[in-house]
Amino acid sequence: MALQLSFSSHSCLHANVIAGCNGSKPSSSKFVMALTLPSSKARGVENRIRWKQMTPEKLELFKSLEGWAEENVLTFLKPVEESWQPQDLLPDAASPDEEFLARITEIRERAAGIPDEYYVCLVGNMITEEALPTYQTVFNTFDGIADESGMSPSPWARWTRSWSAEENRHGDLLNKYLYLSGRLDMRQIEKTIQYLIAAGMNIGTDNNPYCGLIYTSFQERATFISHGNTARHAKGHGDLALAKICGLIAADEKRHEFAYTKVVEKLFEVDPDTTMLALADMMRRKIAMPAAFMFDGLDRELFPHYSAVAQNVGIYTTKDYADNVEFFVKRWDVGNITSGLSSKGREAQEYVCGLADRFRKMDERKKKKNNSSTIVPFSWIFNRKIVV
């Protein structure tokens, strides 16, 4: 059943992200920059769509695409036997003691030279990956492509299960490697993961698969960029093993991005109007980050703080977001769709095509305004302090 998504549910998310889970007022403004959403008026949220339950015709459309998905989407999955596993990148605990301990010593020696800021970004990425149960749950709220039984043979459901199985290796690998580094308060990190999965998330897609598939396209590309940047930084700090780990994960994310992007491309082909409206709707609300409700039991503003560090270090920035909007508008050839659009669809098209520039200008204005240097402790690194 579809929910009636209203602006209030999103503004609630926005308020919580900015103010912290308990609604407390943030003490500084700079850390808000990395993910602050513009005002509802500026975002055009007052115009946003209240998606209704999918009609039988729309459900039939997704059913009719099953053969296409079988041949064009499932092919992006890698067979288990050809996939890397976390153990391929980690010390083998079954090896002789000296060998095992020597590998761990190497990891710890390499880790010693890496700055705290980088570790905070890496931990944030790892925690985001570890909240995987939430993403699979949310995916299965999308009408027409949900896994109805938990073991449905439909290609959509098989994709979701196999995609989750691929994703599951990301959190596993990062978690184990970071544990071995000896640099982190793992108990605080584990608490953050438990809080985050318990919190869940509402990306405001109203069970609408058009919105859901657009959201996942953006998220996969965002994680590709983020893991790619952590790989680059690891290399810069001399940890080639960590660079390889982040690079392998980034490559998976890229493959996932290709798959979701291809589905949305197909939706533009078979149902341009609804797809255009869904894209504009997701853009008006901005793509909410999946780990926005992270909490470690101490810092009510943990996500904005982490997000600000990621912005400062250059792991994932507001410019990346604007670039992604531009990338997808080009990838789906949004500006050149001429047939099958209603007047509202054409309005949506115009709005979406001008967005990347608007985001960039907004980013520039914020950069000029925000030059404070708040310092906050992160429990993940034993309360050592970082500028946000």
Catalytic machinery residues: 84, 129, 167, 170, 220, 223, 252-253, 256
Is 129 within any annotated ligand binding site? yes
Q: What tokens does 318 get?
A: 């507001």
The residue among 117 and 129 lying less far from Fe ion, judged by its C-beta, is: 129
The residue among 135 and 321 lying less far from Fe ion, judged by its C-beta, is: 135
Question: Measured between alpha carbons, how far is residue 111 from residues 98, 100, 103, 157 in Å?
Answer: 20, 17, 12, 40
Distance of closest approach, residue 129 Cβ to Fe ion, in angstroms: 5
Is 148 within any annotated ligand binding site? no
Is 220 within any annotated ligand binding site? yes
Cα dihedral sign, 365-368-369-372? positive
Query: Are residues 129 and 174 in contact, defined by beta-carbon separation less than 8 angstroms?
Result: yes
Is 269 within any annotated ligand binding site? no
Distance of closest approach, residue 315 Cβ to Fe ion, in angstroms: 15
Q: What tokens does 155 get?
A: 């290609």
The residue among 32 and 77 lying less far from Fe ion, judged by its C-beta, is: 77
Q: What tokens does 255 get?
A: 């493959």
Is 253 within any annotated ligand binding site? yes
Question: Measured between alpha carbons, how far is residue 96 from residues 92, 109, 178 in Å?
Answer: 9, 20, 22
The residue among 159 and 359 lying less far from Fe ion, judged by its C-beta, is: 159
Is 81 within any annotated ligand binding site? no
90: left (phi over 0), alpha (psi -120 to 50) or beta: beta
In DSSP notation, 3-39 reads: ----HHHHHHHHHHHHH-TT-PPPS-SHHHHTTPPPP
Host H or E run for residue 387: strand 384-387
The residue among 139 and 380 lying less far from Fe ion, judged by its C-beta, is: 139
Distance of closest approach, residue 225 Cβ to Fe ion, in angstroms: 12
Query: Are residues 46 and 7 in contact, defined by beta-carbon separation less than 8 angstroms?
Result: yes
Distance of closest approach, residue 125 Cβ to Fe ion, in angstroms: 9
Query: Are residues 68 and 266 in contact, defined by beta-carbon separation less than 8 angstroms?
Result: yes
Distance of closest approach, residue 163 Cβ to Fe ion, in angstroms: 7
- In the complex, the residues that contact Fe ion under the rule CB under 5 A are 129, 167, 170, 220, 253, 256
Residue positions forming the annotated binding site for Fe cation: 129, 167, 170, 220, 253, 256
